Amino acid sequence: MKLFRKKNVPRAVKPELVSAIRCGSTGPVLPAAVEPLEKELYDRLRSAVPVIDAAIMKIIRLTGGFRVICSDEDAQDGLDHFLRSVPVGLEGVSIGCFADRFLDSILTYGSAVGEIVKDAENERIAGLWLGDVSSVRISAGIDPFTRSYTVRSADGTSRTVTRPENIVYASLIGGKSLLRGLPALSSILLRIYECIGQNYDRAGNVRYAVTYKPPSGSDDFIYSRDRAEQIAREWADGMNSARCGQVKDFVAVGDVDIKVIGADNQLFDTNVPVRQILEQLIAKLSIPPFLLGLNWSSTERMSSQQADILTSELEYYRRLITPVICAVAEAYLASAGSDASCRIEWDNINLQDETALAESRLKNAQAREIEMRLDAQNNNY
């Protein structure tokens, strides 16, 4: 009898989305949501224009949290523990982290693809992996509603995903990025900011022109060079003394004229063109300007309407990722030997919804009370 038995260490599992494949199906191939160069363009666009990156991050945070409800109460605790502790790639943990990254890919690139990575020995879920949408191609499988996924690597090799049932996929309507059409506007905006910086380099740092005019009829014209060098030394000494907190007056004999270079020229007012471009960006991102610190409208009614529009946008994004979350949860239940189903309960988007819901319930209760009172009076008669 062996006192110490060798434990079965599960083999490392490599997500199939990391491998590169090319479609081997004869069915129609959907166009790529984003090409590799286009993906890099969107990444650089978010890093170059902070408003775009801030808008996407706020949309993800405002989408809110959720709770997965299992139809089998006995399996609820195990499901909750799995969703809290499931690894997501190399950095994240929990289904909430996966949902945030999945939605980030949808907004930035127009679609997102992930994989439910299972252990090769016991078929238990080892973690979740978010794939690169620029290398994934989708084609029809054996029927029009079955997908066949392919992934291409950088070296050009390819093969088909052998277990497409472990792949989760979602996309915006049309499969196009939310940032589509913004690079042209963003390039204009960046050129305006670059010109503002250059103008401040030229005129923002005050420079002086000191002109000495020798009196007419005197011999100072002969020593004009020496006078100019002496004035330059004294002027530089007076300017440098200000760095040490000392104030020195500049005293000169003769006609000395001091002017600020560029004082007659004013900088261009860029408020109007910058606001016009930002309005186009915000309209494409569908987020109220006041959430980004752009105080264009101070009326409370306008802010309330914009918040309602944002709520409808967030509900749309929730509908996109709800099936993905349910697929992950039901895959875990299936691996645990349960045939239960799941549903998603989303948190209210903001406190304004809580207030509106409370007022609605109060009015419904008051209306119900009045109806019951009228029914009781009619029955008495």
Query: Do 300 and 162 lie in a common domain?
Result: yes
Percent of the chain with pLDDT strictly greater than 70: 81
Residue whose C-alpha is closest to residue 68's, from 337, 331, 335, 311: 331
How many angstroms separate the CA atoms of 350 and 65, rounded?
A: 11
Same domain, residue pair 19 and 157: yes
Q: What's the rounded mean pLDDT across residues 354-372?
A: 81
Q: Which is it for strands 111-118 and 125-130: parallel, antiparallel or unpaired?
A: antiparallel
Do 25 and 103 have their domain in common? Answer: yes
Q: List all residues 6 or more positions away from 122 whose beta carbon is below 8 Å from its beta carbon.
A: 10
Looking at 49-58, 107-116, 154-163, 201-210, which range is the least confident one? Answer: 201-210
pLDDT, average across residues 368-373:
89
In the numeric block, the tokens 């991050």 are attached to 57
Two tokens, residue 323: 């099936």
* Residue appearing with tokens 């963003």: 186
Tell whether the model's pLDDT for residue 16 goes beyond 80.
no
Nearest to 124 by CA among 132, 136, 116, 135: 116
CB 149 within 8 A of CB 161: yes
Backbone angles phi, psi at 150, to 5 degrees: -130, 150
Within-domain flag for 199: no
> pLDDT band at residue 22, thresholds of 50, 70 and 90?
very low
**pLDDT at residue 82, as a whole number:** 93
Q: Is 174 in the same domain as 59?
A: yes
What's the mean pLDDT when you consider all of the chain?
A: 80
Task: Name the token pair of 369.
Answer: 């009370």
Give the model's confidence band at 91: pLDDT under 50 very low, under 70 low, under 90 confident, else very high: confident
Could you tell me which residue, 274 or 211, shows the higher pLDDT? Answer: 274
C-alpha span between 13 and 120 (Å, rounded) = 7
Within this chain, do residues 43 and 176 fall inside the same structural domain, yes or no? yes
pLDDT given for residue 298 in this prediction:
53
pLDDT value at residue 26: 47
Nearest-angstrom CA–CA distance, 50 and 30: 32
Residues 300 and 247 in one domain: no
Tell me the CB-side half-sphere exposure of residue 253, using CA atoms within 13 A. 5
Same domain, 249 and 299: no
Q: Are residues 164 and 39 in the same domain?
A: yes
The pLDDT assigned to 84 comes to 93
Q: Do residues 102 and 131 lie in contact, with contact meaning Cβ atoms separated by under 8 Å?
A: no
CA 319 from centre of chain: 19
> What single string gives the DSSP state of each residue in 105-167?
HHHHHSEEEEEEEE-TTT--EEEEEE--GGGEEEEE-SSTT-EEEEEE-TTS-EEE-S-GGGE
Three-state DSSP class for 352? helix
Long-range contacts of 331-339 (CB under 8 A, 24+ apart): 331/116, 331/125, 331/166, 332/79, 332/82, 332/83, 332/86, 332/125, 333/70, 333/72, 333/75, 333/79, 335/118, 335/123, 335/124, 335/125, 336/75, 336/78, 338/72, 338/75
Query: Residue 367 above 50 pLDDT?
Result: yes
Q: Is the pLDDT of residue 5 over 60?
A: no
Is the pLDDT at 20 greater than 70? The verdict is no
Whether 84 is in a domain gets the answer yes
Q: What is the model's pLDDT at position 78?
A: 92
Assess if residue 272 is contained within a domain.
no
Asked if the structure places residue 164 within a domain, the reply is: yes
The count of domains in the chain is 2
Highest mean pLDDT among 37-51, 230-244, 354-368 belongs to 37-51
Q: What is the reported pLDDT for 169?
A: 92
The Cα 277–Cα 267 span in angstroms is 19
Question: Which SS3 state, helix, strand or coil, does residue 309 take?
Answer: helix
Angle at 125 between CA 332 and CA 99, to 5 degrees: 70
Note the pLDDT of residue 116.
92
Convert the pLDDT of each residue in 291-331 to its tens digit: 788 877 655 455 667 677 788 889 999 999 999 999 999 99
**Average pLDDT of the residues in 199-210:** 73
72 and 109 fall within a common domain: yes
pLDDT band for 100, please (50, 70, 90 cuts).
very high
User: Does 104 fall in a domain?
Assistant: yes
Spatial separation of the C-alpha atoms in residues 232 and 210, rounded to whole Å: 8
d(CA 160, CA 149): 6
- Same domain (yes/no): 159, 94: yes
Is there a contact between 54 and 46 (Cβ–Cβ < 8 Å)?
A: no
Residues 101 and 163 in one domain: yes
Residue range(s) defining the domain that contains residue 236: 208-260
Give residue 25's pLDDT. Answer: 43
CA distance 193 to 20: 41
One domain for residues 236 and 324: no
Q: Which of 19, 30, 13 is nearest to 161 (CA)?
A: 19
